[in-house]
Structure 1
């Protein structure tokens, strides 16, 4: 049974979401402040965390920052509807996805399952090689691990899925709509900047090519392309 950590200071909402998640087959535990959320997330007892941005004392953004210093636990952020700043900052810090509040329990479950699905169910072995090699990058899809220039490359689950999708089509443009489906497990929403933020984070981790250009290039109006050497 998938173990979900729910971190939200709204006790009533947490109770409702916990009840729904339990009905959907999840094992759910709720805490109601950021400090407790960080401690629980780092305990190793959970498969995924749902983290509200707006909490007193230690908000969700700072809680996520502390979690990412020590763990790659998948994190889904709950953000205020229309609050693009918190949303972008959360993604930059390594959140796997976000859901604007107020959200329906059904939407939350769908987003959680999309994250868990891409982590736990790689394509059949006969459909993918043991490793994907492109320049100094090596990806092992079955293990969801990566090396860059011979050293381990730390990626969130969403970053790995996004980079894998680009590498499989290296030298070709992949649309943001396709990347959203493959990396986020959902259709691209209008004005959704998630893909752009995740690509920016990956670019920073890879650094520039020898010619000073990015390994992942933007093709205006079309999408992104991983550049072959």
Structure 2
């Protein structure tokens, strides 16, 4: 089945260029120049991946990415002239799977698309058709991407859900930041270690966990994090 890509960027010329270029790699491409049309499009269609600009009228890419993440796990690559570390961290925290600063090499974009799609396909194949993870007070449904603590559903972002599943599958094992980041993004970049720390901190808050006296996630100083909850 041919992979479909949605580009959301107010730069009409760039959308046309990317559409032609990506078509050479057997991708079907749709493009939107108005970010407010994206949510309607996603109710009608389900692309394999979304390429998203940041600086757009009516709605910036960070806000649109957050809205997409509330409803969908479709991979998102942010493509933006705002390429500073703080902007890239903001994009990843909004739920993006990757962040490529403009100007960029189109062949690198194709490589990143291919890598993310292969990773997403591998995760789908690895998951059972119906299943979940039960760990004492925590219950996770891997099919619907829902998590429950003492029977109450947790409002988790995609990144928080992925980290929680990783920890539940690896209790009492130290997970370093590179391991966690690779699970999230499929990349290895020390510049984004802060993203892992921020995401783990928010996950702790939603679990009601005290980092000074943890019940779920223990910080192993200089190494990473460990899930310590008993079943």
* Pairwise same-fold verdict (TM > 0.5): yes
CA distance in 1, matches of 2:101, 2:133: 35
TM-score by length of 1: 0.78
Structure 2 unmatched ranges of 5 or more: none
CA distance in 2, matches of 1:125, 1:71: 17
The answer to whether the Cα contact below 8 Å between 1:41 and 1:49 also exists between their aligned partners in 2 is no
> What is the match of residue 75 of structure 1?
76
- Residues 59-110 of structure 1 show CA distances to partners (whole Å, capped at 9, x for unaligned) of 2123223334444433222233542333333333333332222232233233
CA distance in 1, matches of 2:33, 2:22: 17
Aligned length: 225
> What is the match of residue 24 of structure 1?
25
Please report the RMSD computed on the Cα atoms of aligned residues, expressed in angstroms: 3.2
CA distance in 2, matches of 1:165, 1:185: 14
TM-score by length of 2: 0.78
Q: 1:74 to 1:155 in 2, by over 3 A?
A: farther
Within 5 Å, which residues of 2 pair with 1:1-229? 1-80=2-81, 82-122=83-123, 124=126, 130-141=131-142, 143=143, 145-149=145-149, 150-153=151-154, 155-186=156-187, 188-192=188-192, 193-208=194-209, 213=214, 215-229=216-230
Q: 1:107 to 1:194 in 2, by over 3 A?
A: farther
The answer to whether the Cα contact below 8 Å between 2:116 and 2:186 also exists between their aligned partners in 1 is yes
1:6 to partner: Cα distance: 0.5
CA distance in 1, matches of 2:67, 2:127: 36
CA distance in 1, matches of 2:73, 2:118: 16
